[in-house]
Every structure is written in structure tokens, then in C-alpha cells.
Amino acid sequence: MNPTDTEVTPWSPTATWVVRGLGMAAAVAVAATVWLGLWVTPPDQAQHNLVRLVYVHPPIAWVALYLAFGVAAASSVLWLWPRTRSRFWDRLAVSAVEVGTVFTALTLITGSIWGRPTWGVWWAWDARLTSTALLLVLLLGYLAVRRVPADPDSRARRSAVVALVAAVDVPIVHFSVDWWHTLHQGATVLNANLSPTIHGSMAWTLLLGFVAFTLLFAWMLAIRYRIEVLSERLLDSELDVALHERWAEGTGPVAGEPGGALASTGRRA
């Protein structure tokens, strides 16, 4: 039997070290962001304490909408392109989508929580929120397609197409909703843009926030990727075992007689 069939190589020492480092760096950076964001930085003139969510919401949004989605879309294209096709891209895509879904949902939730006291509404149909909501639905669609039982190649193919369509659709949606608002009655009242005068400890904390959540995403991506590798191989090996149990049944006792499949190899009725 080919030894590489059911064996999964553990991560090399460098890989383990890198991932562990990522995880620890992420944990430290996030903790620091929280500490700085909640206690050390001063409240804003306009938004008072509500501005503290700026250390959390925009970084999460950046990870969700650009980093995760970007990696997912790029990986999908690279998988679809015959010259660069490799299992690596498919696994990376699903990892990016899954982690990205969590971040996207959090983008909407933190955005909503920020919006409620700031603008009085839990939700508004502006371009950014609407496209983010749609992105979430599209990502869930990807995960749904992923769940359909199929051989890895077909599954990768279908998922990649879904990702590609989503990548094309989100800009169109964003653009059309934006247009909708500007044509309708002038700019929307919701302006999530930060005032350009953010400076001092607030600016540094914001930067740290972006770094922290990016590190966290990278760590989660790596772990999720590893999970994908392992579960693929496990599925293969389970299939192997099941197949061999079947074959063993064929050469063992007559069907109908209860008995262990593997144990009865070689016994004929």
C-alpha cells in the first residue's frame, strides 16, 4: 500500500513555529488593542466614547471585505486557471471563505451596534452596509455549495465559480446602491468615514487594530487550512477502510451471517 495514501504529514517545525508565533502575536495584539481602545485612548469630541468602536469595526471590516474575500476570490481564480490549478488553492479558498464569513457577520454586527447610538438606527440601506449584507449571503451560498457531497474536483469547481460570481457581483451591488442614493436625494446621512483629524494615540491604536485583526485572520486561515487537509485525508482513509471492509465481506462468510468483516477474511462458506 502506498504509505502516503492515509498518512498526513504533520507540519514542519518551521511551519508549526510560524503558526504558533502568529497565534501568539495575534492574541497579544488584540489584547493590546482592546486595552488601548477601551481605556487608554481618550473619547472623541464628537462621538465621545462611541468612537472606541473604531478600533474594532473598521479592522474587522477590512479583514472581511478585502482580505478574506480577496484571498477567496484570488484562490478560486487560481484554482480555475488550469495552469495554476492545485489543491492548495481550493483549500485556501474554503478557509478564507469560512473565516471571512465570521468576520463579515461581525462587521455587520459591530457596524449595527455602532450605528444605533450614533445615528439612531440599527440598520440603513446605504451602499456599504447593503453590499456587506449581500456578501454575507453570497459567502453562505458558497458554504452551502461546499456541503454538497461530491468528489473534491467537482466540489472545488462549483465553489470556485460561486466565488467568482460573488467577486463580480459585490462591486456591482455596491455601485448600484451608491448610485441609488446619490441619484435619489443627495448623499446619505450615514457617513462612516473617520474625520481626517484622527491623530495621536487614537491613530496608533487604530493601526494596531488593523494589524491585530489581520494577524488573527492569518492564524485562523492557517488552522482552517490544516483542518481542510486533515479532513480530506481522513475522508479518504475512511473510504479506504470502508471499501476494504466491503471486500473482506465478499471473501468471508455468506451474507446474512453476522460477523466482523475484517475478522472473517479468508474464511469461506
Partner 1 sequence: MSYIDAGYAIALGVLAAYGAILWRRRQRLERAAARSGGRRAP
Partner 2 sequence: MWRDTVLVAGKDLRIELRSRVVMHQVVPVGVLVLVLFAFALGPDRAPMAKAAPGLFWVAVLFASVLAVQRSFAVEASDGARDGLRLSGLDPAGVFLGKSAAVAVQLVVLEVVLTAGVVVLYGSHIRSYGSIIVAGLAGTAGLAAAGTLYGALAAGLRVRETLLPFLFLPVAAPVLLAGTRAWQVALGTAGNVGNVGSAGDPWVRLLLVFAAVYLALGVVIFGPLQEAS
Rounded Cα–Cα distance for residues 255 and 198 (Å): 77
For the bound state, the minimum distance from the C-beta of residue 62 to partner 2, rounded and expressed in Å, comes to: 22
Cell numbers for 259: 460477523
Cα–Cα distance between 232 and 238 in angstroms, integer? Answer: 10
DSSP 65-124: IIIIHHHHHHHHHHHHSGGG--HHHHHHHHHHHHHHHHHHHHHHHHHHHHHHHHHS-S--
> Which partner from the list partner 1, partner 2, none does 234 bind, CB cut-off 5 to 8 Å by kind?
partner 1
168 near partner 2 (CB under 8 A): yes
Q: At what angle do helices 152-185 and 87-119 cross, to 10 degrees?
A: 30
Residue 249 burial (CB count, 10 A): 16
Of 17-25, 40-48, 113-121, 169-177, the segment contacting partner 2 by CB under 8 A is: 169-177
- Scan residues 180-239 and list those touching partner 2 (CB under 8 A): 180, 183-185
Binding interface with partner 1 (CB under 8 A): 1, 3, 6-8, 10, 30, 34, 37-38, 49-50, 52-53, 56-57, 60, 99, 102, 105-106, 109-110, 113-114, 116-117, 216, 219-220, 223-224, 226-227, 230-231, 233-234, 237-238, 240-241, 243-244, 248, 262, 265
- If contact means CB under 5 to 8 A according to the sort of partner, which of partner 2, partner 1, none does residue 176 touch? partner 2
User: Grid coordinates standing for 118?
Assistant: 450614533
169 binds partner 2 (CB under 8 A): yes
CB 218 within 8 A of CB 22: yes
Contacts of residue 192, defined as CB under 8 A and 6 or more positions apart, other chains included, come to 111, 128
The residue from 102, 134, 192, 211 that contacts partner 2 (CB under 8 A) is 134
List residues binding partner 2 (CB under 8 A). Answer: 80, 134, 137-138, 140-141, 144-145, 148, 150-151, 153-155, 157-158, 161-162, 164-166, 168-169, 172-173, 175-177, 179-180, 183-185
